[in-house]
C-alpha cells in the first residue's frame, strides 16, 4: 500500500484550509506525539510515513514508522499496548501530528516497560528516574 496525501495549494490553505496536506520531511517522515487522552500525559514521540499516518486514520489505532528497522509498526501488535485514537491533530504548518490515545493492555507506551517514554528527569546534567 502506498498512501498519498494532497499538497496544499498555498500557505493560507496549508494553515487554514480543510485539506489534510501533511508535510513529510526529505526522508518521507513526519513527527508524531502521542498523549494519554484522559490525563494529557506525554506517552511517546515517534515518526510516521504516509502509510503509517493513513493506516492510523483508517483503523483508529496508532501506526508508526521505525527508522532503525526501516518498517511500519502497529503500536501494541506484539505487546498488547495498542493505542486507540481518540483524537488526531496536526500543527499549523502540517509537519507534526498529535495523537490523543487510550492505551490498551497494561497502559504502557515505552519499549522499556515504562508508561511513558519520558520517564527520566535531567537533574544537574544527570538522568534520574521520575518519581
Give me the chain's average pLDDT, please. Answer: 94
What cell numbers appear for 110 in the block? 515505552
What cell numbers appear for 32 in the block? 508524531
Q: What is the pLDDT of residue 113?
A: 84
Which region, left, alpha or beta, applies to residue 35 given φ > 0 means left and ψ of -120 to 50 means alpha? Answer: beta
- Does 2 map to a domain? no
Q: Assign 3 a pLDDT band (cuts: 50, 70, 90).
A: confident
pLDDT top residue among 96 and 111 = 96
Mean of pLDDT values over 24-32: 97
Domain, as residue range, for 34 = 24-129
Task: Quote the number of domains for the chain.
Answer: 1
CATH number at residue 69: 3.10.20.810
- Does 103 map to a domain? yes
Mean of pLDDT values over 7-32: 95
* pLDDT, tens digit (0-9, with 9 covering 90-100), for 82-106: 999 999 999 999 999 999 999 998 8
- Does 6 map to a domain? no
- Does 76 map to a domain? yes
Question: Under a CB-based contact definition with an 8 Å cutoff, are residues 75 and 64 in contact?
Answer: yes
Amino acid at each position: 500500500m502506498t498512501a498519498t496525501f494532497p499538497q496544499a495549494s498555498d500557505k493560507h490553505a496549508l494553515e487554514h484550509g480543510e485539506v489534510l496536506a501533511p508535510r513529510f520531511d526529505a526522508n518521507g517522515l513526519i513527527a508524531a506525539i502521542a498523549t494519554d487522552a484522559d490525563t494529557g500525559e506525554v506517552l511517546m514521540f515517534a515518526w510516521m510515513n504516509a502509510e503509517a499516518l493513513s493506516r492510523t486514520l483508517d483503523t483508529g489505532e496508532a501506526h508508526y514508522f521505525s527508522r532503525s528497522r526501516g518498517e511500519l509498526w502497529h503500536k501494541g501488535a506484539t505487546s498488547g499496548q495498542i493505542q486507540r485514537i481518540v483524537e488526531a491533530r496536526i500543527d499549523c504548518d502540517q509537519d507534526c501530528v498529535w495523537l490523543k490515545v487510550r492505551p490498551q493492555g497494561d497502559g504502557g507506551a515505552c519499549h522499556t516497560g515504562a508508561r511513558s517514554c519520558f520517564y527520566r528527569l535531567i537533574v544537574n546534567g544527570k538522568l534520574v528516574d521520575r518519581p
